[in-house]
Amino acid sequence: MAMTTLGILGSGSGSNMQAILDAIDAGDLDARIGIVLSDHPDAYILERARRKGIRAEVIDCSGHRMKFPDVAQEETVRKLRDAGVELVCLAGFMRLVKRPLLDAFPSRILNIHPSLLPAFPGLEAWRQAVEAGVSESGVTVHMVDAGMDTGPILGQERVVVFPDDTPETLHARIQTVEHRLYPAMIGKYAAQLKL
Ligand code: GRF
């Protein structure tokens, strides 16, 4: 099977992107990252990518706090296609993807979410879990559709919530699971698609 070219979209620190890179370097994931895109010029994910010599660029969403404007999505599609991307991986990307990006990559956009969906969609799912007082949460990898964290689920893993957990301690435990689950699910999904 040929190596899959990934495009990563992220707004934050990029630890999941790093985990994907580590899995590639370790020979556990037959892929390469063609481009990393962020809606935040200062996001650490861009710096991490550039340090590894990966093309890393900003998507201009200025003037829009939460929205992912159509023109910005069109620019994203152009950049992803130009980099030869076959599978798009959202990794801490904080804007809702809609058309035209969904139409350009049908069934080719994945996301990682820090809860056992459908529980706790949306922002800071680890904080939602602690505030709800649940005894377990987890991690979900799913396909992206036009809803918020609603696409078909590809894989999940449970994470225990301890009585003395704070949002921060739970998030840290969830992230160690994310870093294992996401690269594994990307590899499995790419194989299913015969990419
Ligand atoms: C992760 O917890 C992910 O599940 C959520 O945002 C966070 C991104 O972290 N959607 P990072 O930028 O990969 O470190």
Cα 110 to middle of ligand 1, angstroms: 13
pLDDT value of position 195: 74
pLDDT value of position 1: 55
**What CATH number corresponds to the domain at position 165?**
3.40.50.170
End-to-end C-alpha distance for the chain, whole angstroms: 7
Cα 92 to middle of ligand 1, angstroms: 4
Name, in order, each residue with C-beta under 8 angstroms of 17's C-beta and a sequence gap of 6 or more. 8, 10, 33, 36, 45, 48, 49, 91
Regions of the chain where pLDDT drops below 70: 1
Q: How many domains does the chain have?
A: 1
Contact assessment for residue 101 and residue 109, using Cβ atoms and an 8 Å cutoff? yes
Active-site pick, 40, 64, 113, 142: 113
Contact assessment for residue 97 and residue 73, using Cβ atoms and an 8 Å cutoff? yes
The question of whether 113 is a catalytic residue gets the answer yes
Q: Which domain holds residue 141?
A: 4-193
pLDDT value of position 103: 97
pLDDT value of position 2: 78
